[in-house]
A = this chain, B = another copy of it.
Amino acid sequence: MSSQPQPSRRSRIDPFIVMDVMRAARERTEAGREVFHLEVGQPGTKAPGPVREAARRALNRDRLGYTDALGLPELRRAISKNYHDLYGVDVPMERIAVTTGSSAGFVLAFLAAFDAGGRIAMTNPGYPCYRQIASAFAMEPVMMETGPHSRWLPVPGDIERAAAGGLDGVIVASPANPTGAVLSDQELAELIGAARQAGAVYISDEIYHGLSYGAPAGTALAVSDDVIVINSFSKYFCMTGWRVGWMVLPEALIRPVERLAQNLYIAAPSLSQHAAIAAFEARDEMEAVKDIYARNRQILLNELPKAGLTDIVPAGGAFYLYADISRFSDDSLAFARRMLDETGVAATPGLDFDQVNGHNYMRFSFAGPTEEIEAAAERLKAWLPGQAL
């Protein structure tokens, strides 16, 4: 008699496909074959010098036990100061919760603000974990369709339409994943206004802040204190694997988030927290890294059209280009596998980000080393033309 446990219905969420691509790429590397990593949204460089130095110091000096559930006071203070220095907004450290990456920020925001059945508006395409986390918690993602016509940005009318069926929350990233789309300050304020009008909590995903190639993205905190802001050291500060991020909370949600964090996480990793305190000293180093992304972005914007990928909105932030591949395939998952197999270029199928039109898109990350981006572009120029439908 087998008594293998049955998986729950709620565990039948989609995989985060990019993680599966990442694993396939790793297996290919282990088999001694070349891989160009344009799949995963993480920098090719290490954490900045001051961060690694602070980590070394903490490793020598600190016991590295649990911290407060909301994080090391010094780190919360440094984040508060950064809001003052960088954006000119005053955010008391009491409203800042250090989290185990922005992943924990989404989990805590959703659990603190929404109950089972809660409806959360989000863009399609968008970061896939929003809808999967919502589904795992028996909440209902409400998709706001965006496209090249709207520069991949949602508009207040999208929130109004979503609110027709009742709406509890809105989550929008700017700069956005997978498209790099950036809201203007005016557009951001209008979305926050529409969410307030609808009685929905606005969650501003600012994880790609700092990574803009035109006007910088504004923080939702300049518009309202009643929003939830989610950010992280992962992207701009090149600290993906360190799993340390933060939330800024409205007063009413501080204690609910603290209780949930105590029970679900205990605390974010101590060493990463100690190290992250030093991150804000590394702005010059990070701006130099951003210059590399800007160069890589330009390489892809020049070369991908030559390979036949002519339909790309050259969006202004993050480190992604979202390319229409419909001339080559209407199955981005199969296309990604074939591309990895035949060229060594790993990229992420649009299906990860958009269940409606994602079969026609691929996301190319340009966060890796320039030589890798260049080599990948060459491979694609040689391979893609033979793939036309």
User: Is A111 in contact with chain B by the CB < 8 A criterion?
Assistant: yes
- Interface stretch of the complex, out of A215-223, A245-253, A292-300, A343-351: A245-253
User: Is A42 in contact with chain B by the CB < 8 A criterion?
Assistant: yes
A residues 1-39 with Cβ under 8 Å of B? 2-16, 19, 22-23, 26
**Across the interface, which residues of B come within 8 angstroms of A174, CB to CB?**
none
- Can you spell out 8 A-B residue pairs with CB atoms less than 8 angstroms apart? A5-B201, A6-B252, A26-B68, A42-B65, A59-B59, A100-B265, A103-B266, A243-B243
- Interface stretch of the complex, out of A75-83, A129-137, A178-186: A129-137
**Across the interface, which residues of B come within 8 angstroms of A23, CB to CB?**
68
A residues 111-154 with Cβ under 8 Å of B? 111-116, 118, 128-129, 132-133, 136-138
- Asked if residues B137 and A5 are in contact (CB atoms below 8 Å), the reply is no
What total of chain A residues lie within 8 Å of the partner, measured CB to CB? 87
Binding site for B on A (CB under 8 A): 2-16, 19, 22-23, 26, 40, 42-47, 52, 55-56, 59, 62-69, 100-101, 103-104, 107, 111-116, 118, 128-129, 132-133, 136-138, 196, 201, 226, 228, 239-243, 250-253, 255-260, 262-272
- Asked if residues A259 and B64 are in contact (CB atoms below 8 Å), the reply is no
**Across the interface, which residues of B come within 8 angstroms of A26, CB to CB?**
68
Task: Report how far A136 CA is from B261 CA in the complex, Å.
Answer: 11
- Asked if residues A269 and B269 are in contact (CB atoms below 8 Å), the reply is yes
**Across the interface, which residues of B come within 8 angstroms of A137, CB to CB?**
137
CB-contact partner of A271 in B44, B113, B242, under 8 A: B242
- Asked if residues B63 and A45 are in contact (CB atoms below 8 Å), the reply is yes
